Amino acid sequence: MPEKAVLVVSFGTSHLDTLEKTIVPIEGDIAAALPDRTLRRAFTSGMILRKLERRDGLHIDNVPQALERLAGEGVRDVTVQPTHIMNGEEYDKLLAQAEPFRGQFGRLAIGRPLLSTEEDYRETAQALLEVLPERESGTALLFMGHGTEHFANSAYCQLEYLLHDLGRTDVLVGTVEGYPGFGEALRRLAERPEVRRMVLYPLMVVAGDHAKNDLAGPEPDSWRSQLEAKGYEVSCVLSGLGEYPGIRRVFVRHALEAAEDGAK
């Protein structure tokens, strides 16, 4: 019977190809860093959990189910590590869902999402620079974040600002649902008439619906199509952040910090 567990919590995805390339390696790296803990998975998106169950007959626990199961197995010490990017709605939901289980474990520690401290932003920016092409005149790189009404949305601007401070003013960040949106990205591009080529990337852990459709899809309203219509030469790199080893290192460090001091 396992004494200790690490529960890796993701928003989730119904795209099994990106699941294998992003969430699975994050879970694997965290499990390897915490070899005395049994690894478990949970997703926070009810919509995705229902879709996987209905379409694939695949059951994945939500957070309360996973914690209930661990408590029932007699696990006493649980580290929960989210793969969320920001301290936003999904992370708040995770904290709220985990709280009632606190009394059922000797220790329940919850790690931070990707972007919390300044160190996190620096490591994340470095992780991106490890995989981005060198700066090239006439080319700009545009990341698509999700965006949220939650105040954590300011994370996108902070990350872009830091990338610019690191000398990469050719990298822009826009979001699907928050600020800065695609319109702001277009306006800032218009200030750079020398830019003719764009490389688009998802700024999301998985490269699912938003990446495949809203970013790179063939419909006229995708970012790719809209930029092409404006005359840019566009290419898309459909890798979720979970595919980047440097990003996984940040999640691993957060899991280790939570496992070690049991904070929160």
* Residues labelled catalytic: 146
How many angstroms separate the CA atoms of 162 and 160, rounded?
A: 5
Compute the 3-state secondary structure of the chain and give helix, strand, coil in percent, each to the nearest 5: 50, 20, 35
Structure tokens at 98: 């985990």
How many angstroms separate the CA atoms of 204 and 201, rounded?
A: 9
Known binding-site residue numbers:
146, 177, 210
Q: Phi, psi (5° rounding) for residue 180?
A: -75, 145
Q: What single string gives the DSSP state of each residue in 186-211? A: HHHHHT-TT--EEEEEE-SSS--HII
In sign, the C-alpha dihedral spanning 29, 241, 199, 117 is negative
Known binding-site residue numbers for Co(2+):
146, 177, 210
Asked if residues 217 and 238 have their Cβ atoms less than 8 Å apart, the reply is no
